[in-house]
Structure 1
């Protein structure tokens, strides 16, 4: 890691223990680094000393073609791996792998591998989002206790974070296009690789992208999320609605479920923390969706600093519409031959369950990509402090709309030898549809019954 990175981390670490209190915004002088030595989102603009991590070079909207279903061409498709990490040579790379990644090599020594490619830091967001982030740097702050935000707009409240909790809020509020509708599949294979897919139709919109949004009266909802199960038939018609709040002390998350069999809408307080994920066969919690979501109040958050890590990046190949789900879903883990890993700088944050609080994960190690504020790897430990589950996100920049997000999220259960993969859209009729229009009334409990019609 280069010297400037070490100095930057040292300043952050000095304040990392203040994560539970109200944090002051940074000075205008410090914010001036955004867009100069730092990217407009707060990453180090330069590469590392030996050149194995290159400089930030954002992709243009025309970096590749877009097919009729909205899938993107791979701008790096002609590249070959620089090398492949296997169980036989993993020892020489272990300093740049998480404990969870190392555990995967031990669990699946014959099949688990990381094809490592040249690093391309191409993710970017629209200029108006960069402008909002720069304003947040000098204005946004945590509420008392850290379970909410004040004076925040659009995305990324803390591009120059001073605590682990600020880094986590950057992940929670990161830019995902403002609004999106998507058709995705989730699988929970047995140990032999056999599976039945569950299909979802999701709608996700931040408050300021609603057609009837009133900036003079923004309210306390950060975003709205609606998820309808469309297959298999026994689950089809079930609809989940979530109102995610900004200040969760003032007003915690609200959730409702429409059960198609009962034709009834009911509140769903279990859709939070370690409540079971939808149709997940017990392999993910509610707050495992999007790698991590929801209130951070049950944990103490410690910022360990930055480090270099091999993470799944530029996953265009894995997103190809020419692939079938059977080509991706394999016994033990997804088909690693379809993956792409790159060396990146990540923020390392350790979450430890607070005394008196309850969650099935007693500790979580987060590794968050500096360029996008997206969680890339999360190692999750049980109450005995044993490594239990490894979450891994295969990220790609949707360059045509300037949105960094995921292609696929996987959660590997090291104890049951099973896993969950969510977000595949290869066989769906279209890719993500960003920028759809909706009103606040579309995300009210009264609308669920109509949405749940099979």
Structure 2
């Protein structure tokens, strides 16, 4: 069997819709995380070709990097592309591309390119996250229906995922630090490449990874999220607060919005599923954020297996403060000169809309980086079954933590020939600032939202 083919042994047999409840694995199975698999459940070995073995990832900053929040130094700045995929040679590499990526070449045949670099398995996390992941493997469960996570804390809940729901919960709960602040912009790009910035200050406390807590202390909260709009002036002062829950059957997501003009905080019960995000001009829906988030109850989930594809990785050049937005943002897509793709193994998860449920996406196919469980690419289909949108997360290792996460997410509408970018911070004074000392639960309250949401 060729190394690039779907890995079918076991995985396809388990490609089933989630049963009523899912039990944890045995200690013997979990011990694979200490040998043949990485601590988060990826294959430790390479593919005897262009994917190397995992040797611990990138856990230390390069010389010259001084503190969290500083724009990253590219540790691979001297790397050159091995080759560049274009519309002219796409068929040669089609088996390593998703249908959405192939569609981008067809929609933008003269300009879209994918520079492919040497694969560097830089994904890394702290040892205590690895230790908790091992514990989760033998204790974590999904509740009846799979819409809530139980008996997990501080690590990947299902590193030996056996179905699509477990895999998507791994994405939703993956390691992203403990507390972070970030000032960044998002833009909706017109067909001609014109755009305007919406700048926000974001603060996130990942309650699930609070080291001063345990399973009993989580109070059903996965994370707290605060976002304050800073620009343009007409939107400045608006704010959003989210309490994301672990068990969304017992307690749905809670959200509030602050209107600066009215100086009022109101519940935002519809900030979920396919609610349009205002700043995205219809190009991103609520559960598109972070490639996928929220309750999984509207879809049937299947784990289709594992595949090797080219995904955005080690995107340091893309997020450099030496790159201006004007240089980066081009009609149809980002400037390919600043992108970097590498071949990685991904888990492929298919979500199909349940009968009687409503969503603008009838089918969604997610490609999860095996080293992190983060969704790298999402292909999304409309009610007619046509490929409609393709989203890509441009990941890199925040080596000061360490954590591998997106630096920029891009949402392409293939029919409108427009796209939306979230996470632009090239022209900001700093980038994402991580801390192990969160301000605490009381900081993320509606009262705090009212106090801080000022023009």
* TM-score, length basis structure 2: 0.96
2:15–2:305 contact (8 Å) kept in structure 1: no
Quote the residue 1:285 is aligned against: 285
Give 3-state SS (helix, strand or coil) of 2:106's partner: helix
Post-superposition Cα deviations, 1:102-159, rounded to whole Å, max 9, x if no partner, equal: 0000000000000000000011000000000000000001100000111000131000
Give 3-state SS (helix, strand or coil) of 2:202's partner: strand
Q: Give 4+ residue runs of structure 1 displaced > 2 Å after superposition.
A: 1-7, 62-65, 208-218
Shift of the 210–453 alpha-carbon distance from structure 1 to 2, 3 Å rule, reads farther
1:402 aligns with 2:391: no
1:212–1:439 contact (8 Å) kept in structure 2: no
Coordinate RMSD, CA, aligned: 1.8
Give 3-state SS (helix, strand or coil) of 1:188's partner: strand
Partners of 1:368 and 1:324 lie apart in 2 by: 30
1:26–1:137 contact (8 Å) kept in structure 2: yes
Post-superposition Cα deviations, 1:325-352, rounded to whole Å, max 9, x if no partner, equal: 1111111101111000000000001100
Partners of 1:114 and 1:106 lie apart in 2 by: 13
Post-superposition Cα deviations, 1:185-210, rounded to whole Å, max 9, x if no partner, equal: 10111100010011011111122566
Partners of 2:263 and 2:253 lie apart in 1 by: 23
Correspondence list, 1:103-252, <5 A: 103-207=103-207, 216-252=216-252
Partners of 1:140 and 1:2 lie apart in 2 by: 34
Quote the residue 2:96 is aligned against: 96
Shift of the 22–178 alpha-carbon distance from structure 1 to 2, 3 Å rule, reads same
Quote the residue 1:357 is aligned against: 357
Shift of the 64–340 alpha-carbon distance from structure 1 to 2, 3 Å rule, reads farther
Report the count of equivalent residues.
Answer: 452
Gaps of 5+ in 2: none
Quote the residue 1:253 is aligned against: 253
Give 3-state SS (helix, strand or coil) of 1:14's partner: helix
* TM-score, length basis structure 1: 0.96
Q: Greater CA deviation, 276-285 or 305-314?
A: 276-285
Partners of 1:302 and 1:209 lie apart in 2 by: 27
Quote the residue 1:28 is aligned against: 27
Q: Greater CA deviation, 166-175 or 63-72?
A: 63-72
Give 3-state SS (helix, strand or coil) of 1:279's partner: helix
1:386 aligns with 2:386: yes
The structural deviation recorded for 1:291 is 0.9
Q: Greater CA deviation, 430-439 or 223-232?
A: 430-439
Partners of 1:390 and 1:208 lie apart in 2 by: 29
Gaps of 5+ in 1: none
2:188–2:279 contact (8 Å) kept in structure 1: no
